[in-house]
Structure 1
Amino acid sequence: MLKLTEVVLTAEVYNQYQRLNINDLTPVCREIFGVTSKSAEVKRPVSVSEGMIRKVFGISDAAEQLKANPFVSYEEFGQRLRITALPGAADWFVKKGGTAQIQRNPALAWYYETERQVDVSYLQAKAANIPYEDTRAYLEKKISAIIADDEKIRGALDLIIVSAPEEVTQRLEDLVLSPEQEDSIRKINTAMANLDFLRAHDIHEVGKFLFVGPPGTGKTSLALSMSHVLHMPILEVRLSMITSQYLGETSKNIDRIFDLARKLTPSILFIDEFDFIAKSRTNDDHGAMKRAVNALLKNIDQVNLVKNGVVLIGATNHPRLLDDAAWRRFDEVIEFALPDTGMRRTILSKLTATLDSSLNLDQLAEETAKFSGADLRMIVKEGMISALMRGQHMISQDDIEKGVEMVEKRNTIKDCCWV
């Protein structure tokens, strides 16, 4: 009953206090109050219907369950639930144990903190809820408007992966970063907080990063996690995918992808396999391919964080293939080296933090020299499988050693030349 009361109480608080906005509502309340990818407005007065309660919670007898609450009424016409007296309902909710819900609900936290002097934090409650601008519903609304204005962009959507921050599973706190990598994020945050200053001084070439390093060292993971940190949708592009489509359309598709990034502003445009451009410039005499490469370089020149609100990230495993024309278009090159012993120890500690194990992580970090972060993740996964095959959940050192052997074998095969 408490979660039903929370929703009805939130509706009343939101209706009475105009200063509250969509980001003061929990994601569940947004859905019940009618926020969708087509309609992002929360028009007052909001209402709570039994139909929406049934749809969101799967509860078919909400009115019956709330009969015990003396401050909730049920309107047969429209099948709506509402609060009859806010102060009394607020006190009843706390007495019945609703404090935990209040601490996670920005609208209620604001009301109880400012109007009822209850010891809760509105700011903490707001930080615990994803902003509406980070949701898929908000992203879909923007994309729909863009396509309605320019139908040609629809084709570009088939060549990229567009993700809202809430959809990205990678989290910055799960990564082990070098000081240089951490500094790149601080620079972006600083630039975003001072965009007017940078514009006034004609500083525009900010926010173009080239991530360089061997496979499995976290280039893609950091790019994706920046979606959360910066509260921006991320557009993932693989150059080989674009150029493998209809060759004559490649240049146009590149233009459309960059147009989409600019229209979705603020956004992150992540171009993986950036070395593909170098192969195309040096090894392909096809005129269409050359035009595609030139279109890519031209678009990179014309996009930046200060003017367009776009963070551009290129990633490559083969920096030697890139010529000067590609290098000079990025204002910062970030190295992703194989982790040293200390970083390997930290990575292994994060990977095994929730596991029941008897591992010597110091020893494991020492014997996994030249292993990437992806290799270490594979070691732990294989150790888990090994333990499960023994019918155990406790991972032993022997289990993890099997993972080490498997990765070493994979890397040996990878380095073989069969011709």
Structure 2
Amino acid sequence: MNSEKLIKLFEAFVKKDSDAFHKIAWEIIEDEKRKKHHLLAAQLKHILIENTSSLNMNHIQQIPPIPRDNEKGFRLLDVKKFFLDWNDVILSKETEEILKQIVQELEKENLLNTYGLKPKRKILFYGPPGTGKTLTAKVLSSVIGYPLVFVRFESVISSYLGETASNLRKIFDFIEKGKWVVLFDEFDIIGKQRDDPTEHGEIKRVVNNFMLMLENYEGDSVIIAATNHPHLLDIGVWRRFDETVYFDLPDRERRKKIFEKYLKVLKKDKNINLNKLSEKTDGFSGSDIEQACIDALKNTILNGRELLSFDEVEKAILRQRNKIKAKRTGKYE
């Protein structure tokens, strides 16, 4: 990338000069096209076009000091800003309707308050891996306009007695200081059943503390817990959430849409049939299909071919199917 243009891009951002920022951004996209970096150019163009209406360079939320654990000094969370919309995630109609109502409730909070009602702010996402739970949290963060807080469980969980509960308290104290979408991913780590015979007393205390903190939270942030293993969660945890949202494996029509989304960056051979690809990926998650598409695109680009062929995508699907089998059985063919 041209270093001079990169410097100008940063200068435009710092000076909040939106016109100059977009002008230079478009120049960079055209440069990448000339270099035949089609995938990168398409991604940059998508970010710029789809999110221009969301981009407000004059609004920067002040971020309080990031809390750290006492044991090793690791950060307990990360704060990131995303510029996505509903087109960036492919969900079932029912799931999307539930999520859009949550956003609508937040947008019309004052109206609800006049009737003594409150918007839903504590949400549990559950379902198989790779079905869009984390991506949906990013989309909600973008649509609502709040930065996304990722809780880092590898730092939160401590070997010291009482330290994990203390770390959770630090996280909730941080949340109280702003408006965020907070994601507790792989939530089953701390939401485990208290009567699990394999766990010691410390886990029970952590679960009790978390449920109490969640129940008592009345701030402006949206708290999302996501798990691939809902059967591991304590029954008491479920009752603390205002809404539970199930993310299922994509059906045939959604699989077709996922292929359309990820294969659009390259010209496709006329023999590519998205319906057939959808049929061949029954049981795949959205993440599995995405990975197969990326694999096929990379091989096409690296081999200097202009068109993406059906055979290339089919081979990528087979490789991904073997990976899925290896994860489930420990065997690879």
Report the AA paired with residue 91 of structure 2.
L
The match for 1:356 is: 267
Structure of higher RCO (CA pairs closer than 8 Å, 6+ residues apart): 2
How far, CA to CA, are the matches of 2:208 and 2:87 in structure 1? 38
Instruction: Identify the match of residue 299 of structure 2 among 386, 395, 400.
Output: 386
Once the 2 structures are TM-superposed, how far is the Cα of residue 278 of structure 1 from its aligned partner? 4.1
Distance 1:200 1:178, change over 3 A: same
The match for 1:173 is: 87
How far, CA to CA, are the matches of 2:159 and 2:268 in structure 1? 48
What count of residue pairs does the alignment treat as equivalent?
Answer: 285
Contact 1:27 1:130 in 2 (8 A): no
Instruction: Identify the match of residue 330 of structure 1 among 225, 241, 257.
Output: 241
Report the AA paired with residue 174 of structure 1.
D
Residue 155 of structure 1 aligns to a residue in which SS? coil
How far, CA to CA, are the matches of 1:171 and 1:200 in structure 2? 29
Distance 1:389 1:32, change over 3 A: closer
Say whether 1:158 aligns with 2:75. yes
The match for 2:15 is: 32
How far, CA to CA, are the matches of 1:337 and 1:179 in structure 2? 11
The 5-angstrom pairing of residues 339-378 of structure 1 reads 339-358=250-269, 359-378=272-291
Report the AA paired with residue 264 of structure 1.
G
Runs of 5+ unmatched residues, structure 2: 1-8, 25-51
How far, CA to CA, are the matches of 1:227 and 1:318 in structure 2? 23
Instruction: State TM-score, norm by structure 2.
Output: 0.76
The match for 2:125 is: 211
* Bigger Rg, structure 1 or 2: 1
| CA offsets 1:242-294 (integer angstroms, 9 cap, x no match) | 114645321111011112112112x1111111122343632465444333222
Instruction: Identify the match of residue 223 of structure 1 among 137, 149, 152.
Output: 137
How far, CA to CA, are the matches of 2:193 and 2:306 in structure 1? 50
Once the 2 structures are TM-superposed, how far is the Cα of residue 33 of structure 1 from its aligned partner? 7.1
The match for 1:132 is: 58
Say whether 1:409 aligns with 2:322. yes
The match for 1:13 is: none
Contact 1:209 1:312 in 2 (8 A): yes
Stretch deviating more after TM superposition (351-360 or 200-209): 200-209
Residue 267 of structure 2 aligns to a residue in which SS? coil
The match for 1:311 is: 222
How far, CA to CA, are the matches of 2:299 and 2:12 in structure 1? 44
- Between the aligned residues of both structures, percent identity stands at 32
* CA RMSD, 1 decimal: 2.9
